[in-house]
Structure 1
């Protein structure tokens, strides 16, 4: 019998953790593990990865959760292995085998098919997905053996590149890098490519290598997090404003910052902008997001004074801890 997990004292934690999600865990399971390691009070993710998928999973803590929805619209990039000749019930390696067909695919035919799936395409969402119909996720219908009608979704495949890999005749597969818009189902893409090649296919591996401006080089694994001290874990967090890379920056003095935080519009010589990140000057702190229309700064999503105070306190505590560590190292040198 497993011993019960020790209760931990939760605390306010604010920022963005770029997690390299391991295979076998759902996005929520990975989130809960990271939340426990950070002892965070509030956390959320920015869109799910299948349990069989690995790679970039941005996790939002505290104030950053207010902006997590914005990242759902981000473009994505994946590395995937498409196993040819076998079609499964889930379009990946977890499903039951539905059919097996011989594979006779030339490079010229593959190049033509990949070109066919580059650009704007329509996809029918897979039954084994979290997309909802009449309040229920499609995978719930699928588990009950019910097939429901799904409307095609329009997505964009910006680039579809084949990676060099030896073709195993016993288990023929192709490796691809897919750069795509939000809402793209890579399992469906792999299955559709297999059908266009005339042999069927399913995904045997999937790794998200980029979402928005975040990529795998910035990520940390759960295993690495577990080996860290609490200060080191906090140091892995990006600031809340990392969720707002495309936002125009506007900085307000203390008087206008206070009025803005109370929900009041401010006037200034600002150009019109749909996405604005608003900061206070002293101390430098993110206040929230806004729009600018006809010289008027209109609040959209505001942080609370408590969130701002906790974010500043977290940063100051981390800087002090790192300073003490550096001084200790210098004395021991």
Structure 2
């Protein structure tokens, strides 16, 4: 890759993470391609998993928390009859059992997972204990006590079983570990199970057809290797706006003087017919200024502001 200084860029990229690399590895590759100073991903995907990995650049990272709290949708294929150490095919088989359940038992077992359920995360997860992810303890043969989590399974659908494989799609809340769910299902069916395929299809309202692959980014790079300005222009067009993670919030527009005062942290008096709560604040030119909180239905209080340079930075 051509040498170029790191850039202040802002926005969100929906990366289609490939199989076989960690989420952090994928992030570093994208960060290098974009020559970005600051970037972070939302929602860890295992090396085995593929699919939607939102990457926030610059000021957009201030609002990534809202994506962390959102629902996710997955496509899952599990192998029945085998329980593994990691609850997926990257682990070693620790127990084999015959598959004896019928279609009625399968449906009843799956239905038991719909709704609010308790889940204990796997030791092979990125949850941190004393500053280290649990999987590092697991690799040393250590078992750390994990807290039970309340999660929500909204739906498990498109269920298909053939011989020792079961395939389904699932819509779930934040904090859901699909590997743990599959392992728990395998225990309920009495045969054991582990994940062999996992693809994240959706995060919040982002759709699967919005994904950008690493290979497509490298293809643009190779086609514009000499002309770096043209390259940056093309890949920057792939970024969604800074406020994309909070696009579900209502928006209000401020006049120039109000915008200036808002960015100084001052409370603004409004006549908008908006109930109390968070709103996206834009100026007259539709530039995103940050989040504000409406109180008493007439006051706008600065809540999370965007740096003044973020909407006007020159990338090239």
Band of TM-score, shorter chain: over 0.9
Taking structure 1 as the reference length, the TM-score comes to 0.88
The equivalent residue for 2:111 is 115
Q: Which runs of 5+ in 2 are unaligned?
A: 225-230
Report the counterpart of residue 39 of structure 1 in structure 2: 35
Q: CA deviation at 1:61?
A: 1.0
User: Are 2:153 and 1:157 equivalent residues in the alignment?
Assistant: yes
Q: Residues 308-329 of structure 1: CA distance to partner in whole angstroms, max 9, x if unpaired?
A: 221xx56xx9xxxxxxxxxxxx
The Cα of 1:246 is off from its aligned counterpart by 1.6
Give the distance between the partners of 1:258 and 1:75, measured in 2 at CA: 35
CA distance in structure 2 between the partners assigned to 1:238 and 1:176 by the alignment: 30
Contact kept? 1:268, 1:297, Cα under 8 Å: yes
2:259 corresponding residue in structure 1? 257
Is the 8 Å Cα contact of residues 248 and 273 (structure 1) preserved in structure 2? no
- How many residues are aligned here? 304
SS in 2 for 1:104: coil
Aligned to 2:310: 307
Give the aligned partner of residue 175 of structure 1: 167
Worse overlay, 86-95 or 140-149: 140-149
Alignment of 1:236 with 2:238, yes or no, is yes
Structure 1: distance between partners of 2:172 and 2:310: 34
- Structure 2 CA distance, aligned partners of 1:285 and 1:118? 42
Q: Is the 8 A contact 1:74 1:211 kept in 2?
A: yes
Query: Who is 1:185 aligned against?
Result: 177
Query: Do the aligned residues in 2 keep the contact of 1:246 with 1:275 (CA within 8 Å)?
Result: no
Matched, 1:29 2:32: no
**Paired position in structure 1 for 2:190:** 198
* Residue 141 in structure 1 maps to residue 137 in structure 2: yes
Secondary structure, aligned partner of 1:308: coil
Q: For residues 165 and 190 of structure 2, what CA distance do their matches in structure 1 show?
A: 14
- In terms of fraction of residues, the more helix-rich structure is 1
Q: Which moved more, 1:139-148 or 1:246-255?
A: 139-148
Q: Over residues 265-291 of structure 1, what are the superposed CA-to-partner deviations in whole Å (9 max), with x where a residue is unaligned? A: 11112333322110000x220000111
- Any idea what SS the aligned residue of 2:312 has? helix
Structure 1 pair 138–300 and aligned structure 2 pair: CA distance change class (3 A): same
| Structure 1: gaps (5+ residues) | 318-333
CA contact (8 A) 1:8 1:36 kept: no
1:183-237 deviations in Å (ceiling 9; x for gaps): 0000000000000000001101100000001122100100011111423211111
Alignment partner for residue 300 of structure 2, among 288, 297, 302?
297
Q: Does 1:222 align with 2:214?
A: yes
Query: Is structure 2 residue 279 aligned with structure 1 residue 276?
Result: yes
Structure 2 residue 60 is the aligned partner of structure 1 residue 57 = no
- Runs of 4+ more than 4 Å apart: none
User: RMSD between aligned alpha carbons?
Assistant: 1.5
Tell me how far 1:135 sits from its aligned partner. 3.0
Matched-pair contact (CA < 8 Å) for 1:83–1:174 = yes
* 3-state SS, counterpart of residue 44 of structure 1: strand
Task: Evaluate the alpha carbon distance shift between residue 234 and residue 308 of structure 1 in structure 2; reply closer, same or farther with a 3 A threshold.
Answer: closer
User: Secondary structure, in 3 states, of the residue corresponding to 2:150?
Assistant: strand
Please say if residues 16 and 239 of structure 1, whose CA atoms lie closer than 8 Å, have aligned partners that are also in contact.
yes
Which secondary structure does the structure 2 equivalent of 1:307 belong to? coil
How does the TM-score come out when normalised to structure 2? Answer: 0.92
